[in-house]
Structures are given as structure tokens and as C-alpha cells.
Structure 1
Amino acid sequence: MYALVEILGKQYKAIEGQTVQVDYIGQLEEGASLEYATVLAIVDEDNAKFGTPYVADAKVKATLGGSLKGDKIRVFKKERRKGYRRTQGHRQRYSLITIDQIIA
């Protein structure tokens, strides 16, 4: 059994007991309980429920784990023979959540 859930504007496949890497969820401490009612679909072995846009009375309960940083991305721009060079870097932050329960 799995569910497709929308978290912070992005869609993730949630399976019970699995840890999912999502965009950074700030201002919460590690071990906090989360509940998402924005469930797009619930798929079981025999049947499937699809929402328009969300499945009614469906929830996904999760626990917030730690946070981590993704790979560093370096952006380099240059125009030849003009003396123009710019370097910019970025490193995305992510949160880890563990899916505890899918309520259909």
C-alpha cells in the first residue's frame, strides 16, 4: 500500500516505514509529528482511490527526522575577451521524514 501525497507543493510517493527526503521544513524540532491531508491517491493491491484533487478523509502521518544538505551546485558565467566572470554557488537544504501511517 502506498499513497501519493503533496508536501510543500511537490508530490511524493509515501510507503509506510519508508524515509522520504523532502524540501526543508523549518522551525520544527527533530521528532515532531506531522500530518498531511493533501493525499492525491491511495493505491492498494486490489483497489485504488484517486482524489479530485485530494482524497476525502485520507491522511498521512509522519515523523520529522534530521535535516541534510544536498550537493553543491556551482554556476559560472563568462564572456570571452570582455573580462566578465561571475561565480555563484548554491546548496539546497532537505528534511528527512519517516512515514508512520497511511489512513484511507
Structure 2
Amino acid sequence: ASKGDEIEFDKVLMVDGKVGNPYVENAKVKATVITQGKAKKIIVFKFKRRKGFKKKIGHRQHFTQVKITQILA
């Protein structure tokens, strides 16, 4: 989804203290997409002592930020 789109989640795990098995029936959550982007860089460093092995890898996770507008139970 792009910025400003309305999204509807139909697989809801819990509403008003009701826990689904696995999901709550007839429950929906409506949300609006605020932004999409990449998170801060995470550095993964692997090292084996006395072997001369060093490996440095960077990774940035994609994310979508949403604002919940309505919860329908």
C-alpha cells in the first residue's frame, strides 16, 4: 500500500479481552498508511577467534507505519 491508503485487517487475534482461536470472528481493524521506508541499519559482525575469520554485514529492514482509525468487533 502507498501513503494515504486505507487498509483493513481481518485477522484479529484479540478484541476487548476476547481471545480468538486462532482469530476473533467478525472483527476488523481499519488503518491508514502514514509512511513506508527503511529502518536504521543493523550491523551483523561474525568472528571466529584464532582463525582470522571476520565478516561484517549490514541490513536495513523495510517497514510500513500505520495509524489505527477504527476497531470493529
Q: Normalising to structure 1: TM-score of the pair?
A: 0.61
Query: Separation in 1 of the partners of 2:47 and 2:40?
Result: 23
The structural deviation recorded for 1:69 is 2.2
What residue number does 2:11 align with? 38
CA 1:50/1:85 → structure 2, altered by over 3 Å: closer, same or farther?
A: closer
User: For residue 77 of structure 1, what is the amino acid of its counterpart?
Assistant: K
Give the alignment's Cα RMSD to 1 decimal: 1.6
* 1:51 counterpart = 2:20: yes
2:2 matched to which residue of 1?
29
Runs of 5+ unmatched residues, structure 1: 1-27
Give the aligned partner of residue 98 of structure 1. Answer: 67
Task: Give the C-alpha shift of residue 32 in structure 1.
Answer: 1.0
TM-aligned CA deviation for residue 66 of structure 1: 0.7
Per the TM alignment, residue 80 of structure 1 is displaced from its structure 2 partner at its CA by: 4.1
What is the CA–CA distance in structure 2 between the aligned matches of 1:99 and 1:81, rounded to whole Å?
52
Q: How many residues align?
A: 73
- Structure 2, unpaired ranges of 5+: none
TM-score by length of structure 2 reads: 0.82
Is the counterpart of residue 63 in structure 1 residue 32 in structure 2? Answer: yes
Report the structure number with the largest CA radius of gyration. Answer: 2
More strand by percentage? 1
- Taking a change above 3 Å as real, the CA distance of residues 50 and 79 of structure 1, as seen in their structure-2 partners, is closer
Matching residue of 1:16: none
Structure 1 residue 67: deviation in Å?
1.6
Separation in 2, partners of 1:51, 1:103: 14
Letter in 1 for 2:57: Q
Tell me if structure 1 keeps the 8 A contact 2:36–2:63.
Answer: yes
